[in-house]
Amino acid sequence: MWRNWLAHSHGVRKVARSSRVTPTKNMASLQDLEKRIATIEERNERVEKDKAWETSVARKLVVLGLTYLVIGTYLHSTGLADPWLNAIVPALGFFLSTLTLGLLKNLWMKMR
């Protein structure tokens, strides 16, 4: 009956019959499943470590130091007076922006 309905309403001429599923042929073995779970757990551990690094104070301090060095080197190469003193302001500005991004992200997520 439903085959006639498919043929009439959707233009399906022939509907394939389902084949029997044999556990040994079509299902993954227990060892394969354990291996897949172990792979997923390893990936989750890596992702958690990456997330911990991305939100850590150590990363923000490294970014602050590198930003200061890059800007200070640039200002020094252009011959401006007190390049290392003048590099503090943009480096601190960038550092403060990294601190507030987490707050803005949380606010944005609550509003969605």
| pLDDT of 39 over the 70 cut | yes
| pLDDT of 103 over the 70 cut | yes
Backbone angles phi, psi at 6, to 5 degrees: -60, -45
Confidence class of residue 55 from pLDDT cuts 50, 70 and 90?
Answer: confident
Confidence class of residue 25 from pLDDT cuts 50, 70 and 90?
Answer: low
Confidence class of residue 100 from pLDDT cuts 50, 70 and 90?
Answer: confident
The pLDDT value recorded for residue 10 is: 56
| pLDDT of 69 over the 70 cut | yes
The pLDDT value recorded for residue 54 is: 86
Contact, 73 vs 46, CB < 8 A?
Answer: no
The pLDDT value recorded for residue 86 is: 94
The CA distance from 101 to 89, in Å, is: 18
Alpha helices in the chain (DSSP H): 2-10, 23-26, 30-54, 57-78, 83-86, 88-111
The pLDDT value recorded for residue 22 is: 56
Q: What is the pTM of this model?
A: 0.57
The pLDDT value recorded for residue 23 is: 57
Contact, 68 vs 87, CB < 8 A?
Answer: yes
